[in-house]
A and B are shown apart, each in its own frame.
Chain A
Amino acid sequence: MPKKKTDIDSFEYSYNRLEEILNILENQIEEISLEDVLSYYQEGLKLLKICRKKLNEAELKIEKINSEELN
């Protein structure tokens, strides 16, 4: 399946980026400067907030598509 380009505002993007940041902090923390670590941290905090907000506040959207050919 061709990978779709991910919408930057989507939950998927935020969540995947979070895991990425965690992964970097987990495996490369020795090599990263304190400034970078802190900027990852800040980004992480922001993404955590976004993810929680999206999950807790999302309202399921449902759209009915009427087929013109049939009606």
Chain B
Amino acid sequence: MPNPLTITELTRDLKSLVENEFRNVYLIGEISNFKRHIASGHCYFILKDENSQISATLWSSRFNYLTFKPEDGQKVLVKGRITVYEPRGTYQIDVSGMQPFGKGDLQLKFEQLKDKLLKEGLFEESHKRLLREFPMRVGIVTSETGAVIEDFKNVTKKRYPVANLFLFPANVQGSGSIESVCKAIEQANKPEYALDILVIARGGGSIEDLWTFNEEAVARAVYKSRVPTVSAIGHEVDFTICDFVADLRAPTPSAAAEMIFPDKNELLERIDKIDYNIKIYIKNKVRSLSDSLNNFSNNYFFNRPLDVLNDYKIKNDEQYKVLEKLVKEKITSYKQNLNYKDKIFFNLSPDQTLKRGFTYVLKGDKIVSRKVILKPDDKIKVRFYDGDVNADVE
């Protein structure tokens, strides 16, 4: 009779056979009965397919490397080794790595966090705050280098240069970025900055590049922000958890600037319109007041004195006409009188007398009116009507 094996011996043999043979196995299976030990943090669950199952353990140290949260019903790809537990005579898989199977790892993680925060009410519409129409002080959490801050600055400069921008630099990708973004958001909430709006921005990139903004800590920091937030992560097609939590989602960082700032040129147009309308209203007011003034002055009582005045005016005009006539007549009579006198004067002139045959005598240029003026041998001129004759006095 062969020597019987002890159970311990058998189990040890099996252990060495199995553990040697299955040092590195990959399994695809569905998680069931997932439990995490509260004190140790180790995880125990069952992996199964349609027909069979295997126990699985995941040590606490490995659990922390997982990029998703394992849940019952999930199909996963597991890497590990088979171990035999001698005290119970059981075998299981010691999991060294695990990832969701089928769906992308990050996609799954995204949906899990989204579900969780949705249930907690972090995306509630009632929590969304309205943004100030004319923001004066706007903070932006983003990388201090790169296109995002430049684009944001340029759009703001063009649209609303009245604003004050505050840049809170943060690492938006890679190790330390979660902490960096959370710190920047916290810093921006300090009352001393008195921000109207806080923009959390990052340029485009792969889902891994944008991942910081799908992290729970960042989402909670955004939710906690007392300053209303605008999330502007990646391109138009990229949605992040941050987008759901923020008060406003902008498709891109430049679009954020366009959404939060009024446009200078539109404002100037509106101001022109106000200018025009104010003037119209004033003009109408003045016109309506002067119209009512006219109504007063057209009133009968106000008009009677005018009538009287008009009567006087008419009378005055008539009197003027009479006066004018009188003056004219007087002038005419003076003129006639003058003509008559002129005629007489004309008849009295020496020329007319000379024509009738009279002459007169000139000595030099002087008329000789008396005989005594002349002495013998004086040269004289006798003036006839038709000319002078020289003569000597005897």
Contact = CB atoms under 8 A, between A and B. Distances in A.
A44 B278 contact: yes
Contacts of A29: 281, 284-285
B167 A64 contact: yes
A10 to B, nearest CB: 6
B196 interface: yes
Interface residues of B, number: 43
Interface residues of A, number: 40
A63 B129 contact: no
Contacts of B130: 1
Given A34-B285, A63-B167, A65-B168, A48 B274 contact: yes
Contacts of A66: 169
B135 to A, nearest CB: 9
Given A1-B129, A55-B162, A65 B193 contact: yes
B271 A60 contact: no
B183 A70 contact: yes
A22 B156 CA distance: 28
Interface string B131-161: 0111010010000100000000100110001
Contacts of A54: 162
B83 interface: no
Nearest to B267: A55
Interface in B219-265: 228, 264
A70 B177 CA distance: 11
Contacts, number: 110
B184 interface: yes
Contact of A58 (B162, B271, B286): B162
A34 B285 CA distance: 8
A29 to B, nearest CB: 5
A60 B134 contact: no
A22 B277 contact: yes
Contacts of A48: 271, 274-275, 278
Contacts of A15: 134, 267, 271
Contacts of B268: 52, 55-56
B339 interface: no
B278 A67 contact: no
A48 B156 CA distance: 22
Contacts of B129: 1
A32 to B, nearest CB: 8
B153 A7 contact: no
A55 B193 contact: no
Nearest to A22: B274
B164 interface: yes
Given A21-B278, A52-B271, A69-B183, A62 B134 contact: no
B22 to A, nearest CB: 48
Interface string B193-211: 1101000000000000000
B193 A61 contact: no
B164 A63 contact: yes
Interface of B: 129-130, 132-134, 136, 139, 144, 153, 156-157, 161-169, 180, 183-184, 187-188, 193-194, 196, 228, 264, 267-268, 271, 274-275, 277-278, 281-282, 284-286, 289
Given A11-B136, A56-B268, 20 more contacts: A15-B267, A19-B274, A26-B281, A29-B284, A29-B285, A34-B289, A41-B278, A45-B278, A48-B274, A54-B162, A55-B161, A55-B162, A55-B268, A60-B156, A60-B157, A62-B153, A62-B166, A65-B193, A67-B168, A67-B187
